Amino acid sequence: MAELNFDSNDVDPVGSFDPIPLGEYVAVISASEMKMTKSGKGQYLQLTYDIIDGEFKGRKVFERLNLVNENEQAQEIAQRTLSAICRCVGVLHPKNSEELHDKPMVIKVGIRPASGEYQASNVVKGYSRTDGKDLKEVTEATPVAKAVATGEKKLKPWQKK
């Protein structure tokens, strides 16, 4: 037996676990963890997104990225997905997944239909930046990239006056 001393009148009950509707939501990654696959031959990055705005604020969406997998296509999809996430949050070279936490992005949410013993659930179908910038345009601002973007010519040491 556990002593509780709890008053349920002070706390709202848990809401529905039904999937949130299809749509785009502003979210942040609130948790991440590398886990082994069931086979033990690969690893996936488990991500938890928290919706931070709108009617579904506070709801969570989960995603798994098969970053280490025998299936090369699954691994490539996961790496491309991680690239999109990194570009959305402006962290192009994360050393660990926590660097991606608490940075707003827009996730496009779909619904995976119920199958067998599993209920319908949400799935992330796409990513975009909150500023609307195209993900392919997001690159590291190296001195050369800055010069190209601004039209500046980088002078060689012997060309300087």
pLDDT in tens, 12-55: 787 777 899 999 999 999 999 999 999 999 999 999 999 999 99
Helix (H, G, I), strand (E, B) or coil at 19: coil
Closest listed residue to residue 127, CA positions, set 112, 151, 110, 108: 108
Range of the structural domain that residue 63 is part of? 18-131
Helix (H, G, I), strand (E, B) or coil at 1: coil
Q: What is the dihedral of CA 111, 114, 115, 118, to 10 degrees?
A: 100
Predicted structure pTM score: 0.78
Does a structural domain hold residue 139?
no
Does a structural domain hold residue 10?
no
Q: How many domains does the chain have?
A: 1
* CATH at 114: 2.40.50
Average pLDDT over residues 125-146: 76
Q: How far apart are CA 161 and CA 148, in angstroms?
A: 21
